[in-house]
Amino acid sequence: MQAFRDLATTGFALSLFASVAFAQSVVELPANLADPGTQVVNVLTQDPRAGQNNRNIGFSEGPAVDSAGNLYFSENVVSELNSPKIWKVTPTGTASVLYESSIATNGLEFDPQGRLLAVANGMVLRFYPNGTRDTLIRNNILVNLNDLSINSSGYVLLTNYTGNKLFLLAPGGVFRDSITIPGNPNGVEFVESSANNNTIYLNLTSLGKVVRFNWSSAASAAFSFYAGTRTDFIPRVANPDGITVDSLGNFYIVSNSIGTVVVYSPAGDSIGRITVKARSSLNATNCTFGGPGNRTLFITGNGGAYKVQMKVPGRKGPGITTAIHSDRMIRPLNRRVFNVAPFDALGRDITRWRITGAEKIRILRE
């Protein structure tokens, strides 16, 4: 994640807006996972910012997919011509903006009630299918949130990359525990064996490995006790970022330094890879399953989002339900980002950015 963020903040961006396969990308997977000749395809059929000084989508993260096949992902690069947002892309490749603010989001995931959760600095935002939103939790301890995972009971794991923290929220967004895990915690995934029993898989980016530990929500022992029993699952992987799992128990670990999704068996053995390369840059930050039959692997990167058709479905997420309403279609924009606080005294988001002319912004209060 950090390597791509450094590129994004220097203004590096790619033009990746044709629904075509990338000739330099590589899909090398076992025959039971993907057909021979499977290719990496851009999810966008056109540049949603056409006419805006060729400024295309920058650093992207946190893919999540609803039951209608709509893809949501965060774009959190900030510049004079761009502010952070959550994009929504339909199965036909039409892009719109779900959310736009001066506060950048990162990881996204649906909860068991079909609401889209988005991590941001110091808070977790919650988007409802009818288009409304609120704040699940706002707490000063939740700084620099990176990614999240939600189990079927509504427990939420949050990672803090720079602070080496893993947070646990109980259902309803109640703060439960915070533990320190060195190694820059990044992507995290609940894998449930029953309603109360989970195995937690956690990417430690700077240590170059994936660890795991068991946890039971019904047990009386502290969360920190279980985390202290963690063991190495994949002891060596280059800069692990995002993580997802298919229905066979294979793990898809995004190695962002080489722009590759590396696939591991349930035993932790490397069995395949998907390298996303557009023009001269490797691009991969996170991934998730969705689409028809839950058999499409969506991958985010620096420049947008991509997809790979799989033969095996992904592990079904707990909250893949109805589409989230998007507030507007994106239009050609020219803007400067102003330092305007987007929350009121109760922590409610009160801003919605609209363009009224060159370099003009007005704030609409809901």
Note the pLDDT of residue 100. 87
CA-closest candidate to residue 363, choices 343, 346, 334 = 343
Q: For residues 25 and 34, is the Cβ–Cβ distance under 8 A?
A: no
As a whole number of angstroms, the distance between CA 142 and CA 139 comes to 6
Name residue 270's beta-bridge partners.
264
DSSP 8-state assignment for residue 8: H
Residue position matching structure tokens 């609120």: 134
Note the pLDDT of residue 240. 94
Structure tokens at 183: 């190694």
Please say if the pLDDT value at position 324 is more than 50.
yes
Please say if the pLDDT value at position 70 is more than 60.
yes
Q: What is the rounded end-to-end Cα distance, in angstroms, of the chain?
A: 33
DSSP 8-state assignment for residue 193: S
Among positive and negative, which fits the CA dihedral 8, 12, 18, 21?
negative
Mean predicted lDDT score pLDDT of the chain:
77
Note the pLDDT of residue 76. 80
pLDDT, tens digit, 9 for 90 and up, residues 161-200: 999 999 999 999 999 999 999 999 999 999 988 767 889 9
Please say if the pLDDT value at position 6 is more than 60.
no
pLDDT, tens digit, 9 for 90 and up, residues 133-147: 999 999 989 988 999
Q: How confident is the model at residue 113 (pLDDT cuts 50, 70, 90)?
A: confident
On the CB side of 17, how many CA atoms lie within 13 Å of its CA?
16
pLDDT, tens digit, 9 for 90 and up, residues 247-265: 999 999 999 888 899 999 9
Residue 292: count other Cβ atoms within 10 Å of its Cβ. Answer: 10
Number of domains in the chain: 1
Structure tokens at 94: 């039409």
Q: For residues 155 and 170, is the Cβ–Cβ distance under 8 A?
A: yes
Higher pLDDT, 187 or 360: 187
Which residues span the domain enclosing 252?
2-363
As a whole number of angstroms, the distance between CA 152 and CA 192 comes to 8
Note the pLDDT of residue 46. 64
Please say if the pLDDT value at position 268 is more than 90.
yes
On the CB side of 53, how many CA atoms lie within 13 Å of its CA?
10
Distant-in-sequence, close-in-space partners of 360: CB < 8 Å, separation ≥ 6 = 335
Structure tokens at 136: 């699940």
Structure tokens at 52: 């805006």
Q: For residues 66 and 323, is the Cβ–Cβ distance under 8 A?
A: yes
- Alpha-carbon 191 to chain mean position: 17
As a whole number of angstroms, the distance between CA 227 and CA 93 comes to 41
pLDDT, tens digit, 9 for 90 and up, residues 31-46: 999 999 999 988 887 6
CATH of the domain at 19: 2.120.10.30
Note the pLDDT of residue 284. 87
- Alpha-carbon 247 to chain mean position: 19
Q: Where are the beta strands (DSSP E) in 181-268?
A: 185-192, 197-204, 209-216, 231-234, 240-245, 251-255, 260-264
**Residues 192, 181, 156, 268, Cα dihedral to 10°:** -30
